[in-house]
Amino acid sequence: MTTASKEHAGIYSLYESLRSTGASGVLATIVRTSGSTYRRAGARMLVTDDGRSAGLISGGCLENDLRERSAQVFSAGKPLLVTYDSTSPGDILWGLGLGCTGIAHILLERVSGEGECRALEFIEECRRTRSAGAIAIPYVFEGLAGESPGPRAFLREGTPRRGTGADDPLAAELERACAEALGAQKSSQLTVTLPEGKAEAFVEYVYPPVSLFVFGAGPDAVPLVRLAKELGWHVTIVDWRAAYLTAEAFPSADNRILAHPGEAETTFTVPRGAAAVVMSHNFNNDAAIVRALLASAASYIGLLGPRAKSDLMMNRLAEEGFVPSEEEMAHFHSPVGLDIGAETPEEIALAIVAEIQATLHERPGTPLRRREGPIHR
């Protein structure tokens, strides 16, 4: 699973610098894991021939070794599949001492300044269009002459499949797997068996960046927008007060929309899967916004304030004839945020962002020490 996130933005920025100078790099992609590993399949790191890098494959324990192995790819120009196995005491023989108990398979590919890296270009396209995508990356071939590892199929949400068929059965299977990944919204491993051989592939689901709508441009919205942007989210802030809705207050916001709550529904659309936080500090305005959001396709709707406020709001809306369904109310979070003892605007922003992250990934937001089973799933 990959998110078109801030980490990708850093990798892509370094990739663009390679293309502008004609330099070379090696892209490392985790294509398969088992057991406990620091990062999951889909994590990437780009290393340049002059020693620069972006992205993380681990917490720092694999990066130096990968830089050394990248030299082989620079010289040979061919992809290399590297396996790190820390499930036994033999791990100490590498001098790495990973401390995890898992296996990571990492594909190293040369990135030339004269060419293009289709995987990075595709993820950037998903980020720019805020759409989901899927990439099929074969990393093992058996008996398939002339084949080499690397990204082989791409499919973005809302675009048609190419429809490859009997003339390229491997490509057809990879494209079909991409369509399934888009439908299931998750990555998977794929084995394709053909008369002449077999291929193993990582089918990577690329999440679009989280879309966050913040209703209310008061001072307490500033750290919320800043923290969301730190995570690479796409942030839109909406307010009816032009004096509050300024570039100076929200320099990193992607959109600033001047609109009264009663006009919001006709001014813009909250897309499916988006998160929204209502914090205008005006009861009537908040009620109008919440009513519109409950009827929208938002996956998360948070209301700032005590539970008594939301109870009164729901009673008022019921008196007006608006009674949301149980399904709609399942997306409603009030009081907003996780219970972390937040008091200051910055702490409250942290609690809100953490709850949004947990909700969108269907996690309970409890301490990891209480979790049974692996951290990643």
For the chain, give the mean pLDDT: 87
| Mean of pLDDT values over 10-25 | 89
Query: What was the pLDDT predicted at 95?
Result: 42
Query: What was the pLDDT predicted at 278?
Result: 97
Query: What was the pLDDT predicted at 94?
Result: 43
| Mean of pLDDT values over 126-155 | 85
The answer as to whether 125 is a domain residue is no
pLDDT category at 92 given cuts 50, 70, 90 is very low
pLDDT digits (tens, 9 = 90+) for 267-316: 778 888 899 999 999 999 999 999 999 999 999 999 999 999 999 999 99
Residue where a domain stops, chosen among 59, 91, 119? 119
| Higher pLDDT, residue 1 or 168 | 168
Is pLDDT above 90 for 318?
yes
Q: Do 62 and 169 belong together in one domain? A: no
Q: Do 39 and 170 belong together in one domain? A: no
Q: Do 250 and 139 belong together in one domain? A: no
The answer as to whether 113 is a domain residue is yes
The answer as to whether 377 is a domain residue is no
Q: Do 252 and 336 belong together in one domain? A: yes
Q: Do 312 and 346 belong together in one domain? A: yes
The answer as to whether 124 is a domain residue is no
The answer as to whether 374 is a domain residue is no
Q: Do 157 and 231 belong together in one domain? A: no
Q: Do 179 and 201 belong together in one domain? A: yes
pLDDT digits (tens, 9 = 90+) for 145-161: 666 777 789 999 988 87
| Higher pLDDT, residue 268 or 70 | 70
Query: What's the residue count for the chain?
Result: 377
Q: Do 217 and 353 belong together in one domain? A: yes
Spell out the SS3 assignment of 139-154: EEEECCCCCCCCCCEE
The answer as to whether 244 is a domain residue is yes
Report how far residue 106's alpha carbon sits from residue 84's, in angstroms, rounded to the nearest whole number: 8
Residue where a domain stops, chosen among 177, 207, 237? 207
Q: Do 274 and 200 belong together in one domain? A: no
| Domains of the chain: total | 3
Is pLDDT above 90 for 341?
yes
Q: Do 276 and 344 belong together in one domain? A: yes
Report how far residue 103's alpha carbon sits from residue 87's, in angstroms, rounded to the nearest whole number: 7
Spell out the SS3 assignment of the chain: CEECCHHHHHHHHHHHHHHHHCCEEEEEEEEEEEECCCCCCCCEEEEECCCCEECCCCCCCCHHHHHHHHHHHHHHCCCEEEEEECCCHHHHHHCCCCCCCEEEEEEEEEEECCCCCHHHHHHHHHHHHCCCEEEEEEEEEECCCCCCCCCCEEEECCCCCCCCCCCCHHHHHHHHHHHHHHHHCCCEEEEEEECCEEEEEEEEEEECCCEEEEECCCCCHHHHHHHHHHCCCEEEEEECCCCCCCCCCCCCCCEEEECCHHHHHHHCCCCCCCEEEECCCCHHHHHHHHHHHHCCCCCEEEECCCHHHHHHHHHHHHHCCCCCCHHHHCCEECCCCCCCCCCCHHHHHHHHHHHHHHHHCCCCCCCHHHCCCCCCC
Report how far residue 268's alpha carbon sits from residue 214's, in angstroms, rounded to the nearest whole number: 13
Q: Which residues pair with 74 in a beta bridge?
A: none
Q: Do 41 and 175 belong together in one domain? A: no
The mean-pLDDT minimum among 78-87, 168-177, 198-207, 249-258 falls in 78-87
Look-up of token digits 């002459």: 145
The answer as to whether 234 is a domain residue is yes
Share of the chain above pLDDT 90, in %: 56
The answer as to whether 191 is a domain residue is yes
| CATH label of the domain that carries residue 333 | 3.40.50.720
Q: Do 47 and 179 belong together in one domain? A: no
Domain region containing 299: 211-360
Residue where a domain stops, chosen among 92, 119, 146? 119
